[in-house]
Structure 1
Amino acid sequence: MATVILVRHGRTTANAAGLLAGRAAGVSLDQTGCEQAASTGDRLAVVPLAGVVSSPLARCQQTAQFILERQAGNRAALAEPDLTECDYGQWQGRMLSDLATEELWAAVQSQPSAVVFPGGESMAAMQARSVAAIRRHDAAFEAEHGPGAVWAAVSHGDVIKSILADALGMHLDLFQRINVGPASVSIVHYGALRPSVLATNTDAGDLSWLSKGVKTGDAPVGGGAGHTAQ
């Protein structure tokens, strides 16, 4: 299969204020977020991307644009509704410090598979739709560009954590063990035998080895020789 680079959007004004933005309109990258997204775009510039798919929310579209500006050709990001932020319902727009006093907060931390946000969506539904979208686009990019294709998906923290948990074979109740920082890069290759998680939550490092394509089969006993830069 192809290889997907999962990119979280850069820092936003809401992130900096400690606000749960959710799907609210008008939430944009702040200056730090723009710098983070530009840096990530620079990292990915050495990888010819078959395409960029993004949550339709502005902060992800902005981050995707920073990536595409550093790629060859004049392309736009494909908006994918199933990669949008979790619908936090009545939690949207509230301060995280206030939400931490809610009874539901403990379940979000320890048993997210059972969480349904009041007036919103369940975390299990969020994972199901986002994983299905990633696998669908991954298969499409492979069909069009071949098994060496590398593409990027720009989304949100909880969404990417849930995708990584699925690829790692982790129960959703364990996904809070995964960290996904602003503008971070995580990499998953959906091989014939199993998904291979090649990186999580990185914000630095050479990615030119991805331009050679990723080949996975049996896991190398002892860890193997690793990737070689271009």
Structure 2
Amino acid sequence: MVRAAPVFCARVASSGVATLILLRHARSAANGSGTLAGRTPGVGLDETGDKQAQGLLERLRGVPLSRVVSSPLQRCRETVAGLVAERELDPVVEQRLAEVDYGDWTGRKVTDLTGEDLWKVVQQHPSAAVFPGGEGLAEVQSRAVAAVREHDRQVGDDQVWLLCSHGDVIKSVLADALGLHLDSFQRIVVDPCSVSVVRYTDTRPFVLKVNDTGGDVSGLLPPKDSGGSDAVPGGTTGQDKG
């Protein structure tokens, strides 16, 4: 596994912790057709997804990245291809961030799956959902959170790093960061090419953004003084982070 080499020598303002950008891959051909692609090989971005991926270059222009980690699947690698080329970074391919193994559901139309008994379990009690011939959503969360925390420890304090993965995988990571039971993860929305931002500390994660599809990156940078692991009573002051 190749680690990304940082090219920006300038460091963001000290916060004592790393900042993680969770990026869902841009829209794929399967998204556009309403098919559950799962781990099917050869599923790349569609025309809309290509434009979304290109737009990342400008959206993240002011954000220094010390590492880019990607699911091994084509649609994720295509999403970050332009970004890592511009930054001269070698992406880390992380198997634990791969799409859910949907087993026998792979390749089927989502509209056809809504009549399955398992569909209700996936919606209402996802921690108990195990896809026939595939894996369970609880397994997905376990592997993904382990990978995230491992990479976060490795990148070092005050660094910003980016992870590109899939909707259900990112939702499971966000549920963990928010302190939610996995059964609540369907309440989280993660659109194609959206970014969510988490900062892990010694005592708790702080979730800064969820499902951001806009162009403002100011919330991605650590503040000069984040307060470490302590939450600010009454909420943050909203002072300038610059």
1:42 shift after superposition: 1.7
CA distance in 2, matches of 1:24, 1:106: 24
Please name the residue that 1:96 is paired with. 110
Which of 201, 214, 217 pairs up with 1:191?
A: 201
Check conservation: 2:208, 2:219, Cα contact below 8 A.
Answer: no
1:211 shift after superposition: 4.3
1:179-228 C-alpha deviation (Å, 9 max, x unpaired): 00000000000012200001000011422454456733321222222363
Please name the residue that 1:4 is paired with. 20
Please name the residue that 2:134 is paired with. 120
Please name the residue that 2:237 is paired with. 225
Provide the TM-score with structure 1 as the length reference.
0.93
Check conservation: 1:40, 1:184, Cα contact below 8 A.
Answer: no
Confirm or deny that 1:57 pairs with 2:69.
Answer: no
Please name the residue that 2:180 is paired with. 170
Please name the residue that 2:6 is paired with. none
1:7-29 C-alpha deviation (Å, 9 max, x unpaired): 00000110000000000001000
Gaps in structure 2 of 5+ consecutive residues? 1-16
Which of 148, 152, 160 pairs up with 1:134?
A: 148
CA distance in 2, matches of 1:209, 1:17: 33
CA distance in 2, matches of 1:164, 1:55: 17
Q: Percent identity?
A: 51
CA distance in 2, matches of 1:202, 1:213: 19
Check conservation: 1:36, 1:183, Cα contact below 8 A.
Answer: yes
Check conservation: 2:197, 2:207, Cα contact below 8 A.
Answer: yes
Q: Give, as a single letter, the amino acid of the residue that structure 2 aligns with 1:220.
A: V
Provide the TM-score with structure 2 as the length reference.
0.88
Aligned residues: 224
Check conservation: 1:45, 1:67, Cα contact below 8 A.
Answer: no
CA distance in 2, matches of 1:124, 1:219: 28
What's the C-alpha RMSD, in Å, of the aligned pairs?
A: 1.5
CA distance in 2, matches of 1:201, 1:211: 16
1:34-68 C-alpha deviation (Å, 9 max, x unpaired): 11122223211211100100000000001111322
1:56-102 C-alpha deviation (Å, 9 max, x unpaired): 0000001111322343xx22211000000000000000000001111
Please name the residue that 1:43 is paired with. 59
Q: Secondary structure at the match of 1:217?
A: coil
Check conservation: 1:150, 1:213, Cα contact below 8 A.
Answer: no
